[in-house]
Structure 1
Amino acid sequence: MILLAIGVVLLGVFALRFRRERRRFSNAVLLLLGILCVGAALIGTGAEGVGPETLVFFALALSPLLMLVLAGLLMLNGVVMLRREGMRPANLLSPALGVALLVPYALLVVAVLAEWAVFGVLLLAVVLVAAYLGFVLVAFLLYSLVYSWVTSTDGAAAIVVHGSGLLGDRVPPLLASRLDRAMGIWHADRAHGLAPLLVASGGKGSDEKVAESTAMAAYLVEHGVRADEILREDRSTTTRENLLFSRELLARQGIERRILLVTSNFHVLRTALLARSVGIDAQAVGAPTARYYLPSAILREYVGILAEHKVLNAVMCALLVAAPIALMIFAEAS
């Protein structure tokens, strides 16, 4: 019952914080912790002899196996990405991380073969870090879905479409999907008597013939949007710059609220979190993405989330590695 009460409290705190500000990653942590506590309590009450300590043991035991499966899937996805999109640094991220995830297990094999006394400590450290990283990944995936489900597209004063790269001077499928989603929202608003501005946001990359905003605006015009209904932001090269430069552009139009950001579905949560961090009153919605591209793209977002909280995550991993070492030292001393 104590575990159930903790879970209910955590979910209650999540609900309050979510209502006040949904663009916080701490909401994801609260939501998953609450669900795990409530779920563990219900399973424990429904199965005789199954207590919280048993569930924790199985969760820790499964974490290394799940990370091994994830490593295999990442390497497989990397092969698919390289075949479809060629040898590019972004496409190497999946297989590289997949190999990196196997390194601790390789060290375990070496420790066993060499009969190192530290084998148990190394095993526990790997399990704890894997469990932590797995928890953050699941929290990110779960909350990305929740955020996307609840974000409304109605009544925006401006719809900002974020660029994602061109093929020379042409709009590729990923960016076309974003533009199509934005136009769908724009037409729906106009059908209800509203007239939101459309903002094409994207500068010129080193391998691009024109600024992304120029190609994006041309695409919109080709699909029935008048040129005078489109604002172009042509300086940005990152998502942060998309946000900051678009805010400047919209401020000159007297728009500082009710801004809707359109990006790809895998990038929605990080875009919303970044908008909050730079002080922009905006929510984000996503456009569909090719299935083969999703694993690699989601992985980049996950790594980005870890990097944006790198100090906290580094401290947590260091503590999880240090804990079994400290236990071993204490046991030997006593």
Structure 2
Amino acid sequence: MNNVNRSRKVVGSRRKTIRRIVLSAAAVIMAYMVYAAVAIWTYGAKTEPVKSDAAIVLGAAVWGDKPSPVFQGRIDHALWLYKHQYVDKLIFTGGRGSDLESAESEVARDYAIARGVPEADILIETVSKITEENLSHAQAVGEQEGLSTYLIVSDRLHMKRAMTMADDYGMKAYPSPTDRSAYQSFRSKVPFLLREMFYYTGYVVLSPFR
């Protein structure tokens, strides 16, 4: 075999090896994405209405002085938990989109007070922007009040990521997804699921570096 043929054979072998590596990596990534999608979807059906000190309501958008439909669904579920005595306190989370706007948690507090919840039973934090901050600031607020057990309230497809974060913070928390979610149709759930797959995967991958 001359040098040219030998060189071609080596190059061909390398290409096959690279192709196998790429295909294997793609298969692993695809398998993980399927796993993540199934885990997020199925976890959303899990609910543990355990008697707890407080419900932590994860923030969402507000429209002026009113909660958006997504946020209202979460707040209404927390009010149900409170009125049925699953929790003694409500912790609303979420900061301001701008200095001219009310904080998400402030809008939620006013909404709850207007529906009969005593202000003394409502705690808020007004600085968080993302889910991880919602939980960390809510935990700090709860600890200041001597609270230690929580029901985490959010939309079903948000629960897997939220509870993973709560576990990482060492919180004694239980999932309580709202059944009043604005995400009811399959068409509205798919974009939410894809977004959660992205954020959940990113959180899991980066967790060792935190």
* The two structures share one fold, judged by TM-score above 0.5: yes
Give 1:139's aligned residue. 35
- The answer to whether structure 1 residue 262 and structure 2 residue 153 are counterparts is yes
Q: CA deviation at 1:126?
A: 4.9
Alignment of 1:104-115 (within 5 A): none
Report if the CA contact (8 A) 1:166-1:208 is conserved: no
TM-score by structure 2 length? 0.78
Distance across 2 between alignment mates of 1:265 and 1:208: 31
1:180 equivalent in alignment to 2:76: yes
Identity of aligned residues (%): 24
Cα distance in 1 for partners of 2:201, 2:55 equals 28
Cα distance, 1:269 vs structure 2: 0.5
Higher relative contact order, structure no. (Cα contacts within 8 Å, ≥ 6 residues apart): 2
Residue number in structure 2 paired with 1:310: 205
One of 89, 97, 100 as aligned partner of 1:205: 97
Query: Contact between 1:168 and 1:207, CA under 8 Å: does it hold in 2?
Result: no
Provide closer, same or farther for how the CA distance between residues 140 and 277 of structure 1 changes in structure 2, counting only shifts above 3 A. Answer: same
1:35-93 CA-partner distances (Å, limit 9, x unpaired): xxxxxxxxxxxxxxxxxxxxxxxxxxxxxxxxxxxxxxxxxxxxxxxxxxxxxxxxxxx
SS in 2 for 1:196: strand
| Pairing 1:249–2:145 present | no
Shift of 1:290: 4.0
Cα distance in 1 between the residues matched to 2:156 and 2:33: 16
1:278 aligns with 2:169: yes
Aligned length: 192
Q: Tell me how far 1:133 sits from its aligned partner.
A: 2.2
**Residue of 217, 228, 231 corresponding to 2:123:** 231
TM-score (norm 1): 0.51
CA shift for structure 1 position 229: 2.1
Write the distance in 2 (CA, Å) between the matches of 1:150 and 1:174: 19
**Which consecutive residues of structure 2, in runs of 5 or more, have no partner in the other structure?**
1-11
